[in-house]
Structure 1
Amino acid sequence: MRWPFCHFTIFVFLFCLHGPTRFADAAPPSSILQPVPPPTMATPKRLSTLGSPQRLPPIHPLERSAPPSLAFPEEIPPPIADRIRIVQSGHQDPLHWWDALVRDPLLPESRWVKFNLQTLLADALANSPRIESVNQQNQVALEGILDQEATFDSRLLLDNRYGRTSDPVGNSLVTGGPPRLREEDWGTNLGIRKQTRLGGEFEFRQELGLLNSNSLFFIPPNQGNSRLTVSLSQPILAGGGQLYAERLILEARLNSQATDQEAIQEIQSTLAELMLSYWNLYERRSQLIQQNDLLQRGIHLEQIVQGRRDLDTGPIEHLRIKEQLTIRKTRILRTRTDLENQQTRITALIGSQNLRHDLINEMIPLGNPQTSFEKTDLRQAVLTGLHHRPELAIAAAELETKGLQLQISRNQLLPQLNALVEAYVAGLNGRSDVAGSFADQFSEGEPGFSAALEFEMPVGRRSAHAKNRAAMASYQKQLAEVRKTVLVIRSDTEIAVREMNVTQQVIAYRQATLLAALAEEQYLTRRWELLGGDGSSAGLIIEDLLEAQNRRTAAEELLVTAQVEYLRAVIRLHLAMGTLLVEQPLSTRPVPPPLSIAQ
């Protein structure tokens, strides 16, 4: 395009009149053009890097007086250099220039804490009320096993009694003469009772007593008696056998296994939510930096328009730029609110009192979403999910419980047949000689015994058959639930693998889009700085340039979103495979030390 000579003369005259800074009024000083070096920081073992409140330099050096409608540009550190010059200098990667700035404080009056993902997870395991709740629930299930095991503990029996009777006599053969029968009886029973693991009950009992009566037929007087009894009651058909006797213990163990898996599932869900929130926080911080840079590029453009107001710009260009600046400021406010909301979610998930808002108002993640991509084998991922997924273990434990109930119902189909056996030895002496009676029960006479069989069977046994059919239906229902769980795990894992693989491709496309948007903005910027003409043509070019700036920032945001989405997909894949928390059982898992923040 050939300019008319008059246009060229006016351009040279205005250039000499205003100087080169008039046309590049938004270019930063030479010291700011140097790439901002990434901050040097050691990865903390705990959340222990706390910043004290201080007034920090603005995020952009190009505009020192921020408009009143924007609440924080003057107080957001650190300065962001002009990205076009950074790209041209070749010292920074245009696809990740914001990474170093994410790790610096961004909010005004910042009381910040820096942390990595491992620290975050360890502090959540130590402080989260949700995790503490599921751990306590697991402890309740473990105590339930001990409660049922205690059914077979031996029980000590002690019975002490004293009685005195004074009854009128209507038959002289009762007392042999006295009109009232007067007796005094004292006795004590000491024994052991134990439930056997075959369903029977064993009892060992020693009785000692004193008995005296005014009856003339009571010989010898002042009796001291002793009796040692051993008895056993054993179900033979219904209610017998080790399986029936220990059914409650088995159910408690299966319940504990299911509770343990539920706890693992809840902990993995909590940790996955925390990891997603961690990377969401990184994404919001990156977008806040990108949008602030977009705002400053708009301010840069506004300064150039102001410098060319007497050449080829008019009121329409100023209005368009003002409109865009207002929109960009609004987006910054919205992004900052989302960032603070994300911090609140992380604080709630961790549950540490050291992260209260009055102590910490900015959380700075040290993670970097740039990762090496690895191809995931779909078949191996599905097999891993079937091996580790808590839902399948829970469904399998429930299936075992239903199978146990089915076996118990089959046992109840049998008739009731009990065997009773009892043997005893006894001693009796006068003059209240209880000790002599106790010795005589082992040396005098012989043992006595008894044996019996008890049989009972309901006619038709309709209740037992109904319970058996219900138990069979419950077992079949739970078997279908297991198959459904397998299909859900397979589908979740396959979807997670595909999502992770496709995000790898999306990142490559987002990078290409950003490079194209960057080249477009550079071209339109250079074209607008050099193009002269009337106000209408310059206005159209400004509008195109503003849209190009928006497209570039949108491409940067989409790239960060794609990078974070890849990590989200990795987290969802591990959650689908159940491998976020693959360690020893919760009852033996060590508890990490509590969160500490250096003041």
Structure 2
Amino acid sequence: MKKTVFILPLILLALVDNGFCEGPPNEIRLPRQIAIAMAVYRNLDLKVEAYNSEMARKELEKSWGIYNPVLNASGNGGVTAVPGDPFFSTRFATTTLGLTQNLPLGGSIALSTQTGFFSFNPGTSVQDWQSTAGLTYTQPLLRSFGLENTRQNITISEYALQESLERFRSSTTETVANVITSYNHLYVLRRILETRMASLKSAQLLLDAVGKKTQQAPVQGMDVANAEFATAQRRKDVVEASRNVRDQEVSLRYLIGLESKTEIIPIDPPATEEPPLTEEQAVLAALAIRPDLKQMQIGLKSSQLQERIARHQSLPDLSLNATGGFTGNGTSMSSSYNNLWNSPGNYWTAGLQFSVPLGNTALRNEYLKSKIKTEQLEDQIKALQWKIRIDVESDFRALISARLQLQLADKSRGLSEQRLDAYRKNNAVGTASVQDVINAENDKNVADNAHLEALENFAGAVIKLWRDTGQLLDRNRVNVDASVPETITQRKQPDAPGPRLPLTDSSITTIAQEKDPIPAGAGAPQLPEARREAPVVAGSKQAPASTSSSIAPHAGTASTTEGSRKPPAASGAFTLKIGEYFAKSEMVEAIKTIKGAGLREAVKPGPLKTTTSFRLYLTEFTDREKAARELERLQNNKIKGFVLKSKEQRYVVYAGAHLDRKSAVQEQTRLALRGIHTSLKPAQVSLPTLVLTAGSFASREEAMASAVILEKQNLKPVVTENAPQ
């Protein structure tokens, strides 16, 4: 892997180097995000895995070498003689220079020139020189024919590179998960060590208090023994806790690539943020972005390619060979080339070569083996998808359990503190023994440690959920840049705000009232056209026409491009009404069916229709300029948002709107992966429709006959009578 200069945060340099040249610092106070950054840049296992991606990239570059032209040069000479017969003695010499180029469809073309002489009479000095310049073309017509066959190694290398990058992404995910888990565990162990040290100090104070009471008045020997035993036991607990901290530091130092034996003090407690995902969203995200699933899907593509090529290689071998060129003869090499240029002769040959192994056992079974491997991978993908669903569902159950345990542990810790305070007060007045206080302290220590462990378990459940859904890297701002394999450990910077434009009616075109749109020419921006996925910003290109169920925020009053072009009136008296649609993309399959039945389709404007729009609510402002800036930020990130003015005179920012809930949830998940969290807001809107009709018939009977045909294709046509012209 090429060496790349990475710019780490200045705080990282301050933490690791600490400004000292004499040696490493004794301790560093390490934030969690810095620990993750150190692991990304310095973890040795990740560096080793990165080399695999670099080697895969070099393999891809090497595979393109099949299109490098090949220069060929040769020269030879000799004498052939028959003993005792000088007339059967021949001297010859030839030189050849050529250039060969492989072609995309599997053939090759070669340009070559050759010169030489043959002398059959040793008694004379006349030499018969001949020079040629020609072109040779070879092209397979069955086996090995085609671009896919020629580029087999290139395509497989591309898949191998993609697999290596997904494997690196998976390794990075595991490393980040291990770093966060190890960091949290070290934090908990240090808190446990502090708790045990405080407990030891409390036991020593209790022992001192018992000693003072012994000097003032007789005290039961059992109290002294209990205090001494508690002190010894807690000193042992401190030693054990200290060793656990040191062992965990060693593990974390390896993960973050810190070679010096520096004491690490984690300063961030385990995170307790709730994942803003439903179980359904988490499963969809996992099936879309899990690197191990992507890796297997890429392997399936590679296997399918090899299966197709193996099937193609089982065909007979039929090749076209053609050669042609010019010749020139002379008494010398220069004269032969001169004649080749001025008065050449010519030659050409062409032919076909056919061969097939009888039985074709090897190639046929190679194809069958490839087919079996493809089916195996398909089943493995199905199994992994099933396992992913199980893992995510299990993660949610574990998260619920961890949340409940954390709540109970927090409550138990509070009760243990109250109980200890009560025993200490009773001991001061002589109504509770030393052992009672020791037991209460032990119980409080157990409750404190249980709370820390519950906190760690909850954070671990969240980490496992993010890891199993494939979102852990994004949640921690770690980006695996697959476009540059040699620098695939880049840190993602926070989204930088785009240039701030002055808020004018021309800079934002989608601020409208919830009920009544702001009229054009009234000092307010106009609404976008209906059935566009996003508003049109001044100075930018118009958004493309919608090809999905995404809709405009408030299209009920806008005109459509389809409605401005009226179809020609039908010539017959009857036609078939297929249905009403909100966009042409929804009628693609119906149009295919109509054309398959030999009928002609027609589309005309329909009536307004009330439907439910699922809007992705982001935020809202009382200030119009702030809403404009938020909308601009969305558009700079290529998110097609819009702004509506509510009844309460607030500017509500949405990140899109969809006609069906499934598409809205998918978009919501996609935005969540980018750190943009939205909520679904259903709204009733009135949209213009498009009416799809088929055919033109002179009589109702003819229309009914065609309707029966379309009904068999799962359409529901209705015979309607055309209005008189």
- The normalised TM-score by structure 1 is 0.74
Matched residue, 1:387:
288
How far is the alpha carbon of 1:299 from its aligned partner? 1.4
Check whether the contact 2:103–2:109 (CA below 8 A) recurs between aligned residues: yes
Check whether the contact 1:513–1:555 (CA below 8 A) recurs between aligned residues: yes
Q: Distance in 1 between matches of 2:242 and 2:25?
A: 13
Matched residue, 1:251:
156
Do residues 498 (structure 1) and 465 (structure 2) align?
Answer: no
Check whether the contact 2:31–2:266 (CA below 8 A) recurs between aligned residues: yes
How far does the alpha carbon of each residue in 1:7-56 deviate from its partner, in whole angstroms, 9 at most, with x for none? xxxxxxxxxxxxxxxxxxxxxxxxxxxxxxxxxxx993435267899xxx
Q: Secondary structure at the match of 1:46?
A: helix
Matched residue type, 1:394: Q
Q: Which runs of 5+ in 1 are unaligned?
A: 1-41, 54-108, 171-177, 533-537, 594-599
Pair 244,297 (structure 1): closer, same or farther in 2 beyond 3 Å: same
Q: Secondary structure at the match of 2:473?
A: coil
Pair 235,590 (structure 1): closer, same or farther in 2 beyond 3 Å: closer
Pair 446,188 (structure 1): closer, same or farther in 2 beyond 3 Å: closer
Matched residue, 2:470:
578
How far is the alpha carbon of 1:260 from its aligned partner? 1.0
1:559 to 435, 438, 451: 451
How far does the alpha carbon of each residue in 1:547-594 deviate from its partner, in whole angstroms, 9 at most, with x for none? 11011011111111222222222221121111233533161646569x
Q: Distance in 2 between matches of 1:590 and 1:411?
A: 37
2:13 to 46, 56, 69: 46
Do residues 190 (structure 1) and 97 (structure 2) align?
Answer: yes
Matched residue, 2:245:
339
Check whether the contact 2:79–2:89 (CA below 8 A) recurs between aligned residues: no
Do residues 204 (structure 1) and 103 (structure 2) align?
Answer: no
Do residues 320 (structure 1) and 218 (structure 2) align?
Answer: no
Q: Distance in 2 between matches of 1:473 and 1:370?
A: 47
Q: Distance in 2 between matches of 1:142 and 1:526?
A: 72
1:544 to 433, 436, 443: 436
Check whether the contact 1:169–1:181 (CA below 8 A) recurs between aligned residues: no
Q: Distance in 1 between matches of 2:385 and 2:177?
A: 21
Q: Distance in 2 between matches of 1:406 and 1:292?
A: 66
Pair 257,554 (structure 1): closer, same or farther in 2 beyond 3 Å: same
Matched residue type, 1:559: H
Q: Distance in 2 between matches of 1:182 and 1:43?
A: 83
How far is the alpha carbon of 1:303 from its aligned partner? 1.8
Q: Secondary structure at the match of 2:132?
A: strand
Matched residue type, 2:249: Q
Matched residue, 2:255:
349
RMSD: 2.6
| Larger CA deviation: 221-230 vs 327-336 | 221-230
Matched residue, 2:501:
none
Q: Distance in 2 between matches of 1:459 and 1:212?
A: 46
| Larger CA deviation: 390-399 vs 321-330 | 321-330
Matched residue, 1:307:
212
Pair 111,543 (structure 1): closer, same or farther in 2 beyond 3 Å: same
Matches within 5 A, 1:49-60: none
Matched residue type, 1:193: T
1:377 to 270, 278, 281: 278
Matched residue, 1:523:
422
Matched residue type, 1:518: E
Q: Distance in 1 between matches of 2:443 and 2:52?
A: 52
- The normalised TM-score by structure 2 is 0.62
Q: Distance in 1 between matches of 2:178 and 2:393?
A: 21
How far is the alpha carbon of 1:296 from its aligned partner? 1.3
Do residues 426 (structure 1) and 327 (structure 2) align?
Answer: yes
Q: Which runs of 5+ in 2 are unaligned?
A: 1-8, 492-725
Q: Distance in 1 between matches of 2:148 and 2:347?
A: 33
Matched residue, 2:712:
none
Pair 387,527 (structure 1): closer, same or farther in 2 beyond 3 Å: same
Which protein is richer in helix relative to its size?
1
Matched residue, 2:74:
159
How far is the alpha carbon of 1:213 from its aligned partner? 4.7
Q: Distance in 2 between matches of 1:47 and 1:422?
A: 72
How far is the alpha carbon of 1:402 from its aligned partner? 1.5
Number of equivalent positions? 473
Which protein is richer in strand relative to its size?
2
Check whether the contact 1:283–1:564 (CA below 8 A) recurs between aligned residues: yes
How far is the alpha carbon of 1:156 from its aligned partner? 0.8
Matched residue, 1:142:
57
Do residues 587 (structure 1) and 485 (structure 2) align?
Answer: yes
Segments ≥4 residues shifted beyond 6 Å: 49-53
Matched residue, 1:262:
167
Larger radius of gyration: 1
Check whether the contact 2:99–2:110 (CA below 8 A) recurs between aligned residues: yes
Pair 115,391 (structure 1): closer, same or farther in 2 beyond 3 Å: same
Pair 388,284 (structure 1): closer, same or farther in 2 beyond 3 Å: same
| Larger CA deviation: 363-372 vs 476-485 | 363-372
Q: Distance in 1 between matches of 2:18 and 2:207?
A: 35
Matched residue, 2:307:
406
Pair 52,231 (structure 1): closer, same or farther in 2 beyond 3 Å: closer
Matched residue type, 1:277: S
Pair 259,341 (structure 1): closer, same or farther in 2 beyond 3 Å: same
How far does the alpha carbon of each residue in 1:278-309 deviate from its partner, in whole angstroms, 9 at most, with x for none? 11111111000011111111112212222222
How far is the alpha carbon of 1:380 from its aligned partner? 0.8
Query: % of aligned pairs identical?
Result: 19
Q: Distance in 1 between matches of 2:227 and 2:367?
A: 80
| Larger CA deviation: 559-568 vs 363-372 | 363-372
